[in-house]
Amino acid sequence: MKLNERYDKLGIGYSARRKPDPRIHRAISAALSGARSVLNVGAGTGSYESTHVPTLAVEPSFRMIEQRGNKDNVVQASAESLPFRDGVVDSVLAVLTLHHWNDIDRGLKECARTSRGAVTLLTWDPESPGFWLTQEYFPEILELDRKIFPSIEQLRQCLGPIEVKPVEIPADCTDGFLGAYWHRPEAYLSESVRSGMSSFARVGDLDGGLQQLRRDMVTGVWQRAHRKLQSLETCDLGYRLVRTKAH
């Protein structure tokens, strides 16, 4: 696959479906606090970039770049080969992108090389159990995600000592990634919602899972099985904020 091929297709309409969530944004900003310059790797359309801190962005896909508000700070490149000198910024950030990289170890080493301080990642822990959507309706997504997301141990081996914090996903999360609609199951029946989630594009036939979910919602099976979820405001689905300890 060429540098940017996958997201040149997948990224159509991304900025409309994947609006940065303010609570997740706060958690990321807190992890970056003190940094006077940031490099956002796999930056996409610029979600979670600060307007106060000078930020450089790296993104391979022109489709994502064309949807950015700020195009002046972006370089078309890949994590595996960052076109910057060592220690170019105070801090490097990578949000929900590692699982798309061709060589995660090499990309992480590049992140560490270009940061004078910490590397901060938002990712999903493949040792987490998943959630009702992937456990009950699309186990093939869970199986695939467990292969493509790096383990916490892999991150530790590449980056050295790290802090790992759960990022609970709000029930009304505005960023339409896979877990965003855990409280709004009907959303997964919408093709437009699913088209903002790369996991659905990676697996083949979705009809069986979708039909089952539709049936379970109409008959009340889903509601009965997931009564406990309905009163929750946030849920831990396995998303993790990972930050290297200062070096």
Ligand X SMILES: C[S@@+](CC[C@H](N)C(=O)[O-])C[C@H]1O[C@@H](n2cnc3c(N)ncnc32)[C@H](O)[C@@H]1O
Interface with ligand X (CB under 6 A), residue from 32, 35, 38, 41: 41
**Interatomic CA distance for residues 78 and 3, integer angstroms:** 7
What is the four-CA torsion angle of 18, 19, 22, 25, rounded to 10 degrees? 60
DSSP designation for 228: G
Binding piece for ligand X, criterion CB under 6 A, among 25-33, 78-86, 153-161, 235-243: 78-86
| Per-residue buried b or exposed e for 34-51, using 16+ beta carbons within 10 Å of the residue's own CB | ebeebbbbbbbbbbbbee
Q: Nearer Cβ to ligand X, position 77 or 162?
A: 77
- Interface with ligand X (CB under 6 A), residue total 21
Judged by CB under 6 A, the stretch of 100-108, 137-145, 202-210, 215-223 that binds ligand X is 100-108
In whole angstroms, what is the distance from residue 174 CA to residue 24 CA? 10
Beta strands, E only, the chain: 38-41, 55-58, 74-75, 91-95, 119-124, 162-166, 169-170, 234-235, 239-244
Residue 18 in the binding site for ligand X (CB under 6 A): yes
Give yes or no for residue 97 binding ligand X (CB under 6 A): yes
Q: Is 197 one of the binding residues for ligand X (CB under 6 A)?
A: no
Residue 79 interacts with ligand X (CB under 6 A): yes or no: yes
Nearer to ligand X among residue 18 and residue 183 (C-beta)? 18
- What's the token pair of residue 54? 């000078």
**Binding to ligand X by residue 123, rule CB under 6 A?**
no
Interaction site with ligand X (CB under 6 A): 7, 18, 41-44, 47-48, 59-61, 64, 78-80, 95-97, 100-102
